Structure 1
Amino acid sequence: MHEARREPVSILMDCDTGIDDALALVYLCSQPHVELVAVTSTPGNVDAEQVARNNLALLDLCGRSDVPVAVGAQAPLGIPLVTTPETHGPQGIGYAELPVSRRGIERRDAVELWVEAARARPGELTALLTAPLTNFALALRAEPRLPELLRGVVIMGGAYYYQGNTTPTAEWNTHVDPEAAAEVFRAFAGQPEERLPIVCALETTERIEMRPEHVAALARAAGCAKPELVDPDHAPGLRSQASNPLVRHLSDMLRFYFEFHRDYDQGYVAHVHDYFAASVAAGTANFSTRTATVHVETSAPRLLGTTIADYRGLWGEAPNARIVWSNQPDEAFKELVAAVGGLAAGLDF
């Protein structure tokens, strides 16, 4: 069991923002013990340039204009990019309309930034990867020693003996760039167990199921003047009137996400996968893992992006991952509401 410990941690985040990526990023901004070293932008939910715009705007909104944002790859390694406007909206942030940042992106691309940071601070940085693994795979090509240079790696991706959310067997991030995912797992084969990536896959991230009452609780924690009601009986697209701008934007994102899940017969909920991965990287989650050897399917058309875990060593290959096996959803939402509500209440808008 990995127990929550608020010890100082320095995080390099790579994301494809994305509603749940946005919530994860805001959560990290709420944690005083987290040094957010940089945020890099991978194409996925939207194209890489839009991801970067979302990241800049969110960081500015959270009072973190000091955090650099970089762009890396423009497309997956070997297949065309497929985005998800039906899931996250045309800009990746649901119904939210974020203020445009006055900042620009880093002159360095994501790969340069990752490699330079890891070499400059060996053993200090934790990688949080909530997007397709394109940028990280390219960084591993540029610096094969990254598994030794990084303090740790947390990946949101995959589905192990669990129904996929993109195809019957594949999870979204891995399906977008299966070649990149396969390269990343190969790079960690044979590393000591404590250096293996912690993988937050669908079987545990779909348990982190946000509901309208969590949005209401977040608004209360932020000191909003009126209750924040996100109701399944509301007309689609109704905009938040919350007095706190951060709560208002998050509510507008999450309403879109609730509506998407309802439209796909999953209920008026939102699976906030990336928030859970962020809490793992930040050390604020209680969870357990199982060591495994992961294979990513890259050739069979119907199984593209499917992830398989050998927990028993039947392949006779070295482990390359620690897959999260259990987590605590109720604890996760108490943490999220208190942390992000506190951040929102303390911001000077």
Structure 2
Amino acid sequence: MVVYNFSAGPAVLPTEVIKRIKEDLPSFDNSGMSVMEISHRSNLFDEVIDQAQQDLKELLQVPDDYHVLFFQGGCTLQFTAAPLNLATEHKKIALLDSGHWADRARDEASRLGIEVDVIDSTKNLHYTQLPALKDLPQDTYDYLHITTNNTIEGTAYNRLPKTGNTPLVADLSSNFLAQDYDFSKFDLMMVGAQKNVGIAGLTIVVVKDDLIGKAKNLPSMIDYELFAKKNSMFNTPPVFAIYVAGLVLKWVKEQGGVKEMDRRNRKKSDLLYDFLDDSKLFTAPVMKQDRSLTNVPFVTGKPELDQELIQQASEVGLLNIKGHRSVGGMRASLYNAMPYIGVEKLVDFLNKFEKDYWGKH
């Protein structure tokens, strides 16, 4: 049975990347050592990390004044690291509350004693649409924090907010390299790798040079300036996770880059959204103009029927479509490595499930 993994993360990897990992496992680059054994101080790994940084900059088309840093601890740690590194002048940041992870970012910054102004929130709408940025007072905040794609709620920014001279900090974990933006508009990007860039255990930070080095006496493991100076190797980095990310970055380049990924993901998500919009059984709750390309939540309105669907889907190889526990229902994550045929199989299954349901009712 062919399996299609719709998990929100850790998520599906390109089959070509898995094949290459398998080839490299016994002896990486004819070294006689597994890729899981090589030293982070070796020339072998220098080539891996340097190439990954270069490929990422090329994919993002960002200027040379950006650093690519590799951390551990997920974006949850970066919710602490970013304000400690950047909120040095006003000790105050702005935030658009678009869902669970934006709220987590607010909470972590607040724990540090940093003032967080929630400019707008759509919590009262159950996060089925995005908050709006109206007037952002200038020279007031150290930065504005947004979540470009809300993995749980299924919303995404198609247009970035205009922040004037206020730096834009974004959590792009679930649509990084999957949706095309002018990445030079971001002053800092934080990314959990386990959705579109690789495996769990790696967090990527892409940050402008002029934002780092202003904070003093930071804990070493979240000091952007220190990690920039040490090429992300102040201590032992997640070697295997960086190696996998490097393979994925090469794969994205070979496929045609971010614009091509964006095109494919729009085609996949359109197929699913079109079915849901025409359905009399399923509902996609997110406002159309704010729909995510990569995370598609949907419901029947009957929790027991949702559970029946999830079970039947797993039996035919359509795995991990259960929605997040906070919202229920179903969710299909359509990341870069999910092939179009996987979405076709899902739509065919949903169509049959609906016909069977109405046949009984």
TM over 0.5: no
What is the TM-score when the length of structure 2 is the normalising length? 0.26
